[in-house]
Chain A
Amino acid sequence: MIDLDCDFERMRDYVRGRLTEDERQAFEDRLARDPELVREFEQTLRLREGLEQLKDQVYFAKPAPRPARRRFVWVPALAAAAVAGLAIILWVQPQISPAGVLRASPRPGGAADISAHFTFVPTRGSTGYDLDRPAAGLIEFRASPTGPAAGARYRLALERVGQGGAAEPVGTLADLVPATDGYLHGFADASRLPAGRYLLRVDAAGQTTGNAVVFPFVLHDR
């Protein structure tokens, strides 16, 4: 019989050698006589290995999982219209300040123009992410607001790392609240973000920048 309150944690602690001698002995005795516990243990290890493989594939910073959508034949036409719309906007508004590169939402009607979704979740041992820069369209950044920067309102800042290692602000969004999916969202025109090294910072409002969660990543041209 599996005890939901503690067995999942106990399996993990057993593998990690974190149980006391008495706890370990008790767990091993159960393991020896309870086939269900063995099955659940094996299941745990497969799930864990599946997640490890996803981590190896840099899944946790690759384009975000999207709800399954039907593909329609008019998608290319919409994409073309969106690109045309983008061209008009850029033509009308050629002088965008660096701070304006990051915006809190796609422009009205611009959602179809999103060509990449990057999701950032803190994972231990992760030193950065290699991401493919789309040639055009919007990049959607989704960042988990939890960890040391937990709070009610957040600041999302995108910085570009120069040759000397100094980070220059590219865009900042203040006073953000997590969306219904739990993430903070920011959008940037891919054409305004050249290939290179970047930092995405998440700070809770009212906290020092030392408590920011920082996600380093490199944008590569496809």
Chain B
Amino acid sequence: MDPVSSLSAVYRDYPGLRALILRRVRDPEVAADILQDAAVTTLEKLRSGEIAHPENLGGYLYRVAINHLRNHRRKDRTALSSPELLEELRDTVEDPEWERVGRPQWAAAARRMLEEMPAARDRELLVRFYLNDEEKDTICRELSLTQEHFNRVIFRARNRFRELLEQRGFGRGDLLGDT
């Protein structure tokens, strides 16, 4: 597989990874470079036989991409607050590739999932864990939750989110069947 094809595969199979990198660097070109580098590195390692589990190429790609992202953030923190780059980031929402992988449906599924949760406390748990990056222990203490309750809420929320995406035609098999 050539680098262009491998990058296409990244965009198709790992839109979550792509979205994460874009959120973090807030620059579509830099995000594309990081993914491209990760795809090329993965491909080279595959060709040279350095990947122990070639059937799980996605895991290796994840590892390389997140390490590239971490290195980038160590070197460059200037891109975080530029209004021009934020505007450019908004433009990427129009990217047809995002439509194809169902990114617009992620928000709709997340909204539906939140609306179906009966307890405000559980909704808050999700927001604090995933958006605020708060520690599990802190959330459990402040919301008076057991760790088991916390795990149960996260587990159910993820399952429901997945179901909702599958109902919208963006199931696991569409995107991750070949990992």
A contacts, CB < 8 Å to B: 4-5, 8-9, 12, 14-17, 28, 31-35, 37-55, 57, 59-60, 65-67, 121-124, 142, 144, 146-147, 150, 178, 181-183
- Chain A residues lying within 8 Å of B129, measured Cβ to Cβ, are 8, 12
Interface assignment of B151: CB less than 8 Å from any CB of chain A:
yes
Best-surrounded residue of A39, A67, A122 (most CB of chain B within 10 A): A39
- Chain A residues lying within 8 Å of B68, measured Cβ to Cβ, are none
Residue of A nearest to B141 (CB): A150
Given contacts A41-B16, A54-B114, 16 further A-B pairs with CB under 8 A are A4-B155, A5-B151, A28-B63, A35-B58, A43-B16, A47-B161, A48-B131, A49-B103, A49-B106, A50-B161, A53-B107, A65-B111, A121-B123, A121-B127, A144-B120, A147-B142
Contact, CB under 8 Å: B14 / A42: yes
Contact, CB under 8 Å: A51 / B19: no
The 10 closest A-B pairs by CB, nearest first: A182-B120, A45-B16, A50-B110, A50-B106, A65-B115, A53-B107, A49-B19, A124-B132, A46-B16, A31-B59
- Known A-B contacts A123-B131, A146-B142; the reply to A4 vs B107 at CB < 8 A is no
**What secondary structure prevails in chain B residues at the interface with A?**
helix
Complex partner residue of B23 from A4, A34, A41, A52, CB under 8 angstroms = A52
- Chain A residues lying within 8 Å of B51, measured Cβ to Cβ, are 32
Smallest CB separation, B100 vs chain A (Å): 14
- Known A-B contacts A42-B16, A146-B143, A182-B121; the reply to A33 vs B52 at CB < 8 A is yes
Contact, CB under 8 Å: A182 / B119: yes
Contact, CB under 8 Å: A65 / B114: yes
Residue of A nearest to B152 (CB): A4
Contact, CB under 8 Å: A39 / B172: yes
Q: List 13 A-B contacts (CB under 8 A).
A: A4-B155, A12-B130, A17-B70, A33-B56, A34-B59, A35-B59, A38-B62, A43-B161, A46-B16, A51-B131, A52-B131, A54-B107, A147-B142
The number of chain B residues touching the other chain, given as a range, is: 35 or more
Interface assignment of B124: CB less than 8 Å from any CB of chain A:
yes
Q: How far is the CA of A16 from the CA of B66 in the complex (A)?
A: 9
Q: How far is the CA of A42 from the CA of B19 in the complex (A)?
A: 10
Residue of B nearest to A46 (CB): B16
Q: How far is the CA of A14 from the CA of B128 in the complex (A)?
A: 17
Q: How far is the CA of A32 from the CA of B23 in the complex (A)?
A: 24
Complex partner residue of A46 from B106, B119, B131, B142, CB under 8 angstroms = B106
Contact, CB under 8 Å: B16 / A123: no
Q: Mark B47-79, 1 if CB is under 8 A from A, else 0.
A: 000011101101110110010001000000000
